């Protein structure tokens, strides 16, 4: 083996050291690849090959390559890596020429934007012995072209897709992969067909549209006039029409089948939009535009999150809560999560347009909103908590194109399952890792008794697959657990079931569904612990004002109680009696909490709540308060930790199946902070009264655990580092900002 053919060795910087690199085709991409690797000193020599003498001259002058060769055989003799960066239609001829040479152990790779035709050409040229060819495609570029635009940083934080076959040589693949990573690229592997289809949709189609739009406008007689008035939109949309025409002509010819498939689908959508304009169908237009806008924002977030993940090398969002502080001020926490979910559901099923104010723009409620958009409901917003829902009536939902993704939200999945069990179309409900572990038999079982066909993953976990077109029959159901989600699920199914659907609860749970159904003019009967509906009525659009969420206010009720010298007012908080267990429990512990300015807004009672510091004492929590404070226990455990004496909670086994096992996860964290906490099967015993230490705790992706430990810092002696806090955005997106405003010293790690 010649020196130049030495395989990858690992230098002190752990970067591969190469002998000779040959880059054939010194355009923007080939030039940038050569220049980047040359500048990093990874190759003994970088040799360029190009048919154009001026490009060869410039490549040397600009330091893109060490030297150029005109003869392919001379250039490639003893090469370790040969990069093919010629136009895609020239690839076939080049591969045939290379196949005639003795390439030794050289690894071949390319940068073509379509992969199917290059892979076929390589197989043909090397008679199936193309194992050391690693097809690649850097998703980077600019509308500039030529070696003079070569940029060593061009691939930094850009994707490079490699499309190896099953026969590809593993060492060759690893080498090409490592070279792109050296240039800062984000390398992925994909099969050839998938690559070509994805690229046809995300790159080739947009280029085709930009080229045709500019050409179509430029051909018109009044073209000057049009371009004179063309503003930002035109410029943004058509930037890529400045790209290299020859290169793009090649790409469309090379990726013909995939481009045609994606173009046909797009043409149908464009025709539908044309028809809507023709028919003056504003509803259809608004539907497309609102869905597109959300999808665009969603992509933006995915891309931003990628950047975050890249920077931190993990998706662990850490909060650091510094000890001490006292609270003051007046704040309004975001809208109630339970009511926000229901406003979208009932607004979508109503006849007419429903306006919502104070909507919670957290990820859980947004998952519900997106699900209804996916089922054809036109929803404007949210914008500053305002949402406009163009209801489609009880029978107006349409089949979604794919599974409905519920994210972290148990409420979305359980309530929707009732509604979807009665629709004429099939649906699948999926969720994130936490939701995928949560029990769904509690809804699937009674829905099946009503005639629904629902499949779950083993042990009744998500995803849920619901078969449409079933005729449901109402029933009397005695819930085995106190769950508002199960009750609401069955009442929603009952809107479609023959006869009467009645749900009896073992203890009172939140009654927002019953209240809101009535608000939409749908009769609901409540008789003691039984709520019932009958089908055959309609929902009429209404106006909904969502009060601030008492479950979010709870963090500040505990914070204001345990921090010294504090006084805080929480404005416009929902105080529905099925939700106020946290106030009752804190008062039993000696909390100083008063309700001011009590009023009723849209069928829900609200108040401003004043909380002052208080010396708390441990209590036996009355079991009848458990369902009324079910989401507030994590932060109540923090109160119990600083309260004098024992606090005992029983009858709260439901806490073990929330977004995390809230009994175990809180006990683990409190013990880590030096608190004496003993989990029991259905509750916890906390021996409080001492100050808390600092340390590391884990939220396990549970929003309420993350926020509870932030509050704990007020009585800690050292900082608390809280891992896995990203899901705070599911229920309380501005928690950190409001905390800072009133005096809790918690922030994302690395940000003050």
Catalytic positions, written as ranges: 631
DSSP annotation string for 680-730: ETTEEEEEE-SPB--EEEE-TT-HHHHHHHHHHGGGBSS-EEEE--TTHHH
Least Å from the CB of residue 410 to ligand S3P? 6
Q: Does 641 bind ligand S3P (CB under 6 A)?
A: no
292 to 331: interface string for ligand S3P, x by CB under 6 A: ----------------------------------------
Q: Specify whether the CB–CB gap between 356 and 343 falls below 8 A.
A: yes
Q: How many CA atoms lie within 13 A of 428 on its CB side?
A: 9
In the numeric block, which tokens belong to residue 502?
């009645």
Give Cβ neighbours of residue 390 (< 8 Å, ≥ 6 apart): 283, 286, 353, 377, 378, 379, 380
Minimum distance, C-beta of residue 136 to ligand S3P, in the bound complex (Å)? 47
Stretch that binds ligand S3P, among 365-373, 481-489, 514-522, 573-581 (CB under 6 A): 481-489
Beta partners for 329?
568
- Name 464's bridge partners: 429
Pairing label, strands 427-430, 404-405? parallel
Q: What count of other Cβ atoms lies within 10 Å of the Cβ of residue 328? A: 14
Shortest spacing between CB 509 and ligand S3P, in angstroms: 6
595 SS3 class? strand
Interaction between residue 630 and ligand S3P (CB under 6 A): yes
Q: Quick one: 192 or 495, whose CB is closer to ligand S3P? A: 495
What is the size of the binding site for ligand S3P (CB under 6 A)?
10
Distance CA 406, CA 416 (A): 10
Quick check: helix, strand or coil at residue 359?
A: coil
Query: Does residue number 343 form part of the binding site for ligand S3P (CB under 6 A)?
Result: no
DSSP assignment of 317-335, as one string?
--EEE-S----EEEE-PPB
Based on the shown chain and the rule CB under 6 A, indicate whether residue 710 belongs to the binding site for ligand S3P. Answer: no
CA dihedral over 410, 411, 413, 415, signed as positive or negative: positive
CB of 223 to ligand S3P, least distance (A): 57
Is 286 or 657 the residue whose CB approaches ligand S3P more closely? 657
Q: Which is nearer to ligand S3P, 113 or 343 (CB)?
A: 343
Measured CA to CA, the distance from residue 473 to residue 328 in angstroms comes to: 54
- Bridging pattern class, strands 645-649 and 107-110: unpaired
Please, what is the minimum distance in Å from the beta carbon of residue 463 to ligand S3P?
19
What is the b/e burial string over 672-701, where b = at least 16 CB atoms within 10 angstroms of the residue's CB? bbbbebebeebbbbbbbbeebebbebbbbb
Residues 650-669 that bind ligand S3P (CB under 6 A): 654
| CB nearer to ligand S3P: pick between 508 and 693 | 508
Smallest gap from residue 630 Cβ to ligand S3P (A): 5
Helices (H), 462-596: 484-494, 512-519, 550-562, 581-588
88 binds ligand S3P (CB under 6 A): no
Instruction: Please report whether residue 553 would count as binding ligand S3P according to CB under 6 A.
Output: no
Instruction: To the nearest 10°, report the CA torsion of 546, 552, 554, 556.
Output: -110
Site for ligand S3P contains 130 (CB under 6 A): no
By beta-carbon proximity to ligand S3P, the closer residue of 387 and 550 is: 550
- Binding status of residue 713 toward ligand S3P by CB under 6 A: no
CB of 401 to ligand S3P, least distance (A): 27
Name which of residues 482 to 521 contact ligand S3P (CB under 6 A): 483-485, 488, 510
Stretch that binds ligand S3P, among 190-198, 288-296, 478-486, 695-703 (CB under 6 A): 478-486
Residue 338 contacts ligand S3P per CB under 6 A: yes
Q: Rounded to the nearest 10 degrees, what angle do helices 205-219 and 245-254 cross at? A: 130
* Residue 552 binds ligand S3P, judged by CB under 6 A: no
32 near ligand S3P (CB under 6 A): no
Per CB under 6 A, 408 contacts ligand S3P:
no
Q: C-beta of 658: minimal distance to ligand S3P in Å?
A: 6
Tell me whether residue 584 or residue 659 sits nearer to ligand S3P (CB atom).
Answer: 659
The nearer residue to ligand S3P, 91 or 447, going by C-beta atoms, is 447
Nearer to ligand S3P, 397 or 440 (CB): 440
739 binds ligand S3P (CB under 6 A): no
> In this chain, which stretch among 427-435, 477-485, 552-560, 575-583 interacts with ligand S3P, using CB under 6 A?
477-485
Q: How many CB atoms lie within 10 A of CB 252?
A: 18
Query: Per rule CB under 6 A, is residue 411 in the interface with ligand S3P?
Result: yes
Distance in angstroms (rounded) separating the CA atoms of residues 752 and 740: 10
End-to-end CA distance of the chain: 57
Which residues, 99 to 128, sit near ligand S3P by CB under 6 A? none
- Using CB under 6 A as the binding rule, whether residue 631 contacts ligand S3P is answered as yes
Give the orientation angle of helix 116-125 with respect to helix 245-254, to 10 degrees: 70
Contact track, ligand S3P, 237-276, x by CB under 6 A: ----------------------------------------
> Could you count the other beta carbons within 10 Å of the beta carbon of residue 232?
7
Residue 651: strand, helix, or coil: coil
Residue 503 or 714: the one with the smaller Cβ distance to ligand S3P is 503
**Minimum gap (Å) between residue 192 Cβ and ligand S3P:** 46
- Shortest distance, CB of residue 493 to ligand S3P, whole angstroms? 15
Q: What distance in Å separates the CA atoms of residue 515 and residue 318, rounded to the nearest whole number? A: 39
Looking at the Cβ atoms of 35 and 341, the one nearer to ligand S3P is: 341
Q: Helices (DSSP H) in 315-389: which residue ranges?
A: 337-349, 363-374
Neighbours of 337 (CB within 10 A): 24
Is residue 444 involved in binding ligand S3P (CB under 6 A)? Answer: no
Instruction: Tell me the closest approach of the beta carbon of residue 645 to ligand S3P, in angstroms.
Output: 28
Contact status: 365 vs ligand S3P (CB under 6 A): no
CB atoms within 10 A of CB 72: 17
Q: Would you tell me which residues interact with ligand S3P (CB under 6 A)?
A: 338, 411, 483-485, 488, 510, 630-631, 654
């Amino acid at each position: 083996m010649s020196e130049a053919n030495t395989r990858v060795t690992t230098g002190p910087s752990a970067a591969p050291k190469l002998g000779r690199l040959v880059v054939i085709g010194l355009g923007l991409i080939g030039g940038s690849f050569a220049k980047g690797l040359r500048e990093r000193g990874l190759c003994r020599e970088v040799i360029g090959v190009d048919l154009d003498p001026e490009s060869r001259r410039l490549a040397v002058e600009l330091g893109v390559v060490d030297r150029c060769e005109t003869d392919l055989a001379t250039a490639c003799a003893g090469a370790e890596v040969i990069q093919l960066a010629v136009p895609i239609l020239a690839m076939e001829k080049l591969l045939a020429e290379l196949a005639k040479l003795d390439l030794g152990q050289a690894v071949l790779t390319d940068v073509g934007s379509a992969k199917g035709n290059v892979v076929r050409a390589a197989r043909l040229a090397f008679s199936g012995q193309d194992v050391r060819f690693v097809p690649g495609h850097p998703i980077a570029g600019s509308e500039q072209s030529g070696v003079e635009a070569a940029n060593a940083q061009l691939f930094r934080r850009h994707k490079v897709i490699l499309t190896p076959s099953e026969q590809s040589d593993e060492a060759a693949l690893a080498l090409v992969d490592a070279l792109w990573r050296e240039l800062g690229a984000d390398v992925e592997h994909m099969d050839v067909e998938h690559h070509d289809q994805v690229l046809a949709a995300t790159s080739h189609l947009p280029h085709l549209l930009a080229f045709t739009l500019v050409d179509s406008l430029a051909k018109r007689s009044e073209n000057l006039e049009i371009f004179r008035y063309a503003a930002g939109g035109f410029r943004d949309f058509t930037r890529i029409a400045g790209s290299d025409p020859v290169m793009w002509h090649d790409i469309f010819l090379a990726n013909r089948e995939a481009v045609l498939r994606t173009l046909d689908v797009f043409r149908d959508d464009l025709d539908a939009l044309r028809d809507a304009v023709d028919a003056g169908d504003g509803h259809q237009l608004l539907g497309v535009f609102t869905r597109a806008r959300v999808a665009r924002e969603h992509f933006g977030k995915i891309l931003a999150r990628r950047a975050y993940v890249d920077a931190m090398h993990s998706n662990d969002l850490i909060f650091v809560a510094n000890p001490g502080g006292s609270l003051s001020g007046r704040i309004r926490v975001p809208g109630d999560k339970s009511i926000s979910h229901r406003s979208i559901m009932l607004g979508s099923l109503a006849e007419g347009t429903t306006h919502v104010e104070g909507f919670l723009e957290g990820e859980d409620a947004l998952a519900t909103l997106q699900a209804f958009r996916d089922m054809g409901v036109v929803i404007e917003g949210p914008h500053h908590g305002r949402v406009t829902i163009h209801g489609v009536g009880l029978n107006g939902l349409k089949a979604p194109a794919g599974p409905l993704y519920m994210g972290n939200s148990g409420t979305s999945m359980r309530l929707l399952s009732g509604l979807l069990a009665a629709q004429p179309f099939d649906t699948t409900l999926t969720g994130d890792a936490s939701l995928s572990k949560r029990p769904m038999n509690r809804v699937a079982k009674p829905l099946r008794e009503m005639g629904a066909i629902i499949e779950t993953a083993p042990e009744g976990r998500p995803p849920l697959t619901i078969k449409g077109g079933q005729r449901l029959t109402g029933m009397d159901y005695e819930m085995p657990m106190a769950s508002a989600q199960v009750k609401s699920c069955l009442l929603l199914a009952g809107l479609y079931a023959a006869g009467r659907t009645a749900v009896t609860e073992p203890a009172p749970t939140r009654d927002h569904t019953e209240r809101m159904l009535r608000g939409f003019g749908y009769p609901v009967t409540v008789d003691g612990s039984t709520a019932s509906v009958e089908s055959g009525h309609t929902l009429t659009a209404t106006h909904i004002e969502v009060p601030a969420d008492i479950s979010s206010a709870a963090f500040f009720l505990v914070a204001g109680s345990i921090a010294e010298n504090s006084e805080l007012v929480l404005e416009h908080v929902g105080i529905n009696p099925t939700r106020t267990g946290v106030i009752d429990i804190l008062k039993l512990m000696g909390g100083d909490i008063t309700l001011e300015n009590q009023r009723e807004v849209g069928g829900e009672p609200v108040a401003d709540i004043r909380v002052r510091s208080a010396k708390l004492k441990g209590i036996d929590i009355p079991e009848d308060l458990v369902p009324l404070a079910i989401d507030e226990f994590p932060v109540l455990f923090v109160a119990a930790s600083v309260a004098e004496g024992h606090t005992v909670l029983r009858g709260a086994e439901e806490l073990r199946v929330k977004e995390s096992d809230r009994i175990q996860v809180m006990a683990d964290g409190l013990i880590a902070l030096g608190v004496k906490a003993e989990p029991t099967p259905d509750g916890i015993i906390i021996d409080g009264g001492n100050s808390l230490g600092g340390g590391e705790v884990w939220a396990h992706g549970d929003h309420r655990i993350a926020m509870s430990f932030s509050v704990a810092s007020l009585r800690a002696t050292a900082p608390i580092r809280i891992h896995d806090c990203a899901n705070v955005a599911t229920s309380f997106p501005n928690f950190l900002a409001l905390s800072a405003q009133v005096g809790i010293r918690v922030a994302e790690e690395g940000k003050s």
